[in-house]
Amino acid sequence: MKFERKDFLWGGATASSQIEGAYDVDGKSLTLAEMRPFNPNLDRKNNQEMNNYTKEDYEKSIENIDNLHYPKRFGIDFYHRYKEDIALFKEAGMNIFRMSIAWSRIFPNGDESEPNKDGLEFYRKVFQECKNNGIEVMLTVQHYDVPYPIAKKYKGWSNKKVIDLYIKFVSVIMNEYKDLVKYWLPFNEINVAPWSPITGLGIFKEDYKTSSEYLNAAFQGLHNQFYAQAKVIQIAKTISKNIKMGCMIANMTTYSIDCNPVNVLENLLTQQINRYFFYDVVAKGEYPTYSKRFFKEKNIKIDMTAEELKVIKENTVEYITFSYYMTSTVSKELNNQNGGNLIMGGKNPFLKATEWGWQIDPIGLRITLNELWDRYQLPLFISENGIGVVEKLDKNNTVDDSYRIEYLKEHFIQINEAIGDGVDVFGYTMWTPIDVVSLSTNEMSKRYGLIYVDYDDYHKGTGNRYKKKSFEWFKDFIKTKEL
């Protein structure tokens, strides 16, 4: 089978907090992501690891009194090795690199009057290196790395003052990089807000008396991000026609466990609140009617103004990007739970799962692409998709990851089928082109890349890069487009 679309963008995706390292270099402040330690006793199938740390734990991490290891402070040292990594991406045949920018490098405290010039210069060099290698940049502005000073001083995104800090930050980097970066995503997986407020919003649960107050703060923070995203889309129009503004949402496609109408309805309601709600706001520009009942039943009261809603309505996204790792099942009585990205889901007896419990469903990607295209009629881009596996270098200094080749191939086939269905899907960035520190579990052991990085969970190793078998397969696929 030949992949049909000729102008398709192929590449990989990363996040600054998972690759850069150099956490205390050139004026950078700590981010919340860099303040979560590696837990050697973690339960890989428990997706709540990110939510297990208290405000006190974060504060203690600053001086590291307990002498713990904080993996995201070291990443894979992309800060010093970016030229080497970008050269490998080019060699693999990639023509787009989705990466993020660390707010903490540009405005370390969030509220400085002037940006940090060293931070601006670092990203300029990275973007220029991509351009020199014929690679487009898709830039995520905030990718799960709220600067600690913003969380501490302002209580994160629950505070509307953070909107202005963010808009200032984005205005600076848009003006700085408008000729180097074409594709912009204001927030990574914006829908993480209600599931992990500390991760997406920088909101400490200890700052709220009850769980309902915490939930309300999460939806307030989400609204503030919806407005901030719309506002920077509005601003982008005044800066450059070269800037293309999209969104990034963690896609949660689910199936009813059976054809019992009770479970079918439960799945519909789940899809509305866990999935379509977020797409509807950023693509249609308004809160969907079904969300009003949800807010009423959960006693959620959001401070939103007519002006904010007007800006959201008039500044929707030009294209939709989303992460797709798995599908799961839904039933009224969900007893047999399975692992997943951000939230738990039911097991599907027809699917295999990874060691982390993520169920592999290539056909579900075709279903997802068709559903999103039919509903929104906006160009689609798969900005994250991949498989995490525990891997070791073999005696030939490579990894025989035939399972990753199979995973990628089967998903590429379904993308091709969706294109045949008439879906406008224009690109794909795998998570990840190179091994990184895991978001949820803080492991290096959980490896996603085509390129092996020689670090263990405590960052012992050389940090050297080695091509896996999948690297050569992907390189050949890019040349031939044969599946």
Alpha helix positions (H), 93-139: 103-106, 117-132
C-beta separation of 281 from 287 below 8 A: yes
The two structure tokens encoding residue 28: 């950078």
How far is 79 from 104, CA to CA, in rounded Å? 14
Chain centroid offset of residue 171 CA: 21
How far is 182 from 319, CA to CA, in rounded Å? 13
**Number of neighbouring beta carbons within 10 Å of residue 266:** 19
Return the DSSP state at 194. T
Question: Which residue among 49, 308, 384, 417 is the active-site one?
Answer: 384
Alpha-carbon distance values, 456 to 69, 356, 384 (Å): 12, 18, 24
Orientation of helix 211-239 relative to helix 161-177, angle to 10°: 30
Place of tokens 């990363």: 14
C-beta separation of 101 from 141 below 8 A: yes
* Among candidate residues 156, 153, 126, the one with its CA nearest the CA of residue 142: 156
Cα dihedral sign, 398-403-409-415: negative
Does the annotation count 384 as an active-site position? Answer: yes
Alpha-carbon distance values, 318 to 210, 234, 385 (Å): 38, 12, 21
**25-27-30-33 Cα dihedral, nearest 10 degrees:** -60
User: What residues contact residue 114 under an 8 Å CB cut-off, 6+ apart?
Assistant: none
How far is 35 from 72, CA to CA, in rounded Å? 8
Place of tokens 């808009």: 167
Can the peptide bond before residue 432 be classed as cis, meaning omega within 30 degrees of 0? yes
How far is 173 from 142, CA to CA, in rounded Å? 12
Q: Give the catalytic positions in this structure.
A: 384
